[in-house]
Structure 1
Amino acid sequence: MPSNKLKEFFLAVLITVVFTLLTLLPAAALSILCAAAVTALLGYSATRFHFGFVAFQAFVICAVYVLFQKSLSGALITSLPLILCGLTLGICYNVKLSVFKLLSIFTSVYVLNIAVNIKLAGMASPGQNIFEEAIASVGQVYKESLTAMYGSQLSGTEINNVVSELTSTLLRFTPSFIVIACICFALLSYYLFKRILKIRKSDLSMFASFSDWRGDKVISITYFVLLAFYFVVPAGNFLSDTLLNMVTVMTFVFFVLGLSFLEYKLKNRIEKSGVRKLVLVGISLSAFVLMGLPFLALAICGALDGCFDFRHRKKIIR
């Protein structure tokens, strides 16, 4: 390997070590951002260097976790998802897969890792469910807050009923929350991965720009069919819960595609990409905070664009 390329590799390893250490900090948002950076850096190395060097970088990531967590099993549980997802980025780039296939594979790999970890945790501690325990703790905090604020107005039974309804709702949405969290991590990792490739002047022709993202027509129609079917099926059974989680995940996906269509429209009004991104971030945050009309409007817009391809129709009219 040429000396300049070797220096580039060791610089990538050094930066990876720094970000890996930062993932150990108690700040959740910073840890997630740094974990995505570790994944993106490993993915870049997989596009640039020989597999042996990539394996060394992956070993370094695992070694850092072993050193500071002092538990081999804990280090593997933490590092393997990052390593596998990083390799997914690099391999998908090397075989020239589209951004949609890349994100789908990345999300599937991460969801599979979580499912395996949950299974292993269940085998290690039979009868325990980490999500039920986490939701129960959330319910306890919510109960204490309600008691402190409305203890004089609500009876203990009424407060317990509210908390019970909250925890049961959260449990119903747990699968979709997990998948959506994995999609968000995939989007963040992809963004950082693409930024690194752009800085290094790599070929990005196989990746469509965000403003050109559009859903498949069949998937869009399927979404509306499932949505209609959900409102027909009686609530409170396995089928309705399954449909609810499927619709929730697809709604989030079409929300992202709705943001893509919005950026496409903003291109004609706002020339500076930085300003457009700020507008999109602001709309995204408001949509998540309100979780009402803005969120649903963008999701429906993304789904309808998948069915009718408004961008293509506009070009034909012109």
Structure 2
Amino acid sequence: MKIVYEIISFIILIFVIHAILSTVHFLLDLYEIYTKPFKTKILNMFNIKQKGKHKHKEESKNAGTNNATAPVATNRITNAFNFLIGVDEAVEKIKDALELPIIYPEKVKEYRIKPAKGILLYGPPGTGKTSIAKATALYFGCTFIYLKASDLLSSRVGESEKNLSKYFEYARANKPAIIFIDEIDTIGMKRDGMNINRASDILLNTLLVEMDGLISNEGIFVIAATNRPDILDEALTRPGRFDHKVELKLPNRESREKLFVLYLSKRPLAETIDARYLSRVTEGFSPADIRAVCENAAVKALKREIKNTAEKGIKMEDIIEEINKIRGSL
């Protein structure tokens, strides 16, 4: 009987220890959630230097002392937009919206000009919204922070909002900064009032609060992209939030011809490729479609060369075949 009692006592002790360890692990998880620095997705392209918080304050102070009109943005790549084709109108609108507040913020204050808080890029899929956002950061010498809206949503209560706020905190410490939110319709759909606790609605409220606070945080700009501007909540599209709306259209014939020339350049060609003809038979194709055509044609040509080394380079028929495949899926 004594042995049975000892066995039962031992089993109870094991359960108690397991319960204590589980509690400790749970508390450690909570500690990690609320104290561990959030890992940001920063695209540090072309070795753009990002200033730390204290360094930024010191540089801003010196810039204000030496020359009030001195540009704040550094490490600019002024030809960043030159690599984009068929988006000249969109680029000019972006420059008009951001050039003064980023390059001459002190003068903007002096003339009491209200700078843009956000730019909404909209248009069909594959028209280069992300590429334009990246090029904008390069052109103005800004820290670039890429956010995919769907990745912000978390199953843990309150974590999505905390993560978004930490991105804005990072931007404030590394001004001038551009926060790019891709697929913003994921969290910015029209609210119907039926489900006030919907995760996307709560996250949208956090975004609106952060954007409203940008008036006291000059040097931070939000660019968002969507394929469906018609389903966005009015709170996002009203003046004072995304002040500028820039449409990206499918490329015209001339732009398609230039895209084929660009994506086929520096690739081995088996024969002369008629880019003008290709542009005529690709009406309705996006830049992403044309790039996919050239990539797939290159893969086809490479496989053919591996089988027969005498056949080297991309042929016109390779490209036409890939065009027909994509046209069938449009």
Give the TM-score normalised by the residue count of structure 1: 0.26
The structure that is strand-richer by fraction is 2
The structure that is helix-richer by fraction is 1
Give the TM-score normalised by the residue count of structure 2: 0.26
Q: Tell which has more relative contact order, 1 or 2 (C-alpha 8 A, sep 6+).
A: 2
